[in-house]
Amino acid sequence: MTRDEKLKERWARTVAFFQDRFADGDEMDLDGILFVIGVQELGQLHRKFKKDEKLQLMHIAICRVLEPYGYYEFSHFDDDKWPHYIMKEKLPALKAGEQSLLMKEAIVNYMLVGELIE
């Protein structure tokens, strides 16, 4: 199995994991998955979030899943217990499809490390 085929298979398992638990039968896209990861990383699971907080949650998720790639590093929790990251390395200029592929790979890696998928 090629690397691309393995990523495609693992991405399908990742999407299924999130859809089964968080989507009530609806399809989940990359942004929806990032939002759920952000909520998980924040640890405030049972509350409603304002629009700007939802964007911050997605940023938290992006930082967290890209942390093992050396792009971000956890810095601290603020007084409200929100995690903060510092940029260690600027992300390379990528086309939209390449960005999506990087994020999918990073999310799959996050799921594998957390032993949420095989």
DSSP state letters, 53-112: HHHHHHHHHHHHHHGGGTSEEEEEE-TT--EEEEESSPPPP--HHHHHHHHHHHHHHHHH
Q: What is the pLDDT of residue 49?
A: 94
Q: Inform me whether the pLDDT recorded for 45 exceeds 90.
A: no
The span from the CA of 80 to the CA of 21, in Å, is 27
* CA-to-CA dists, residue 63 to 12, 16, 20, 46, angstroms: 22, 23, 25, 22
Tell me the domain boundaries of the chain: 3-113
Q: Inform me whether the pLDDT recorded for 31 exceeds 90.
A: yes
pTM of the model: 0.91
The span from the CA of 109 to the CA of 116, in Å, is 10
Q: Inform me whether the pLDDT recorded for 25 exceeds 80.
A: no
User: What 3-state DSSP class applies to 46?
Assistant: coil
- In this structure, which amino acid lies at residue 116? L
pLDDT tens-digit series, residues 71-116: 999 999 999 999 999 999 999 899 988 999 999 999 999 999 999 9
Q: What is the mean pLDDT of residues 20-26?
A: 84
Q: Inform me whether the pLDDT recorded for 13 exceeds 80.
A: yes
Q: What is the pLDDT of residue 47?
A: 86
Q: Residue 109 burial by CB count (10 A; 0-12/13-18/19+): exposed, middle or buried?
A: middle
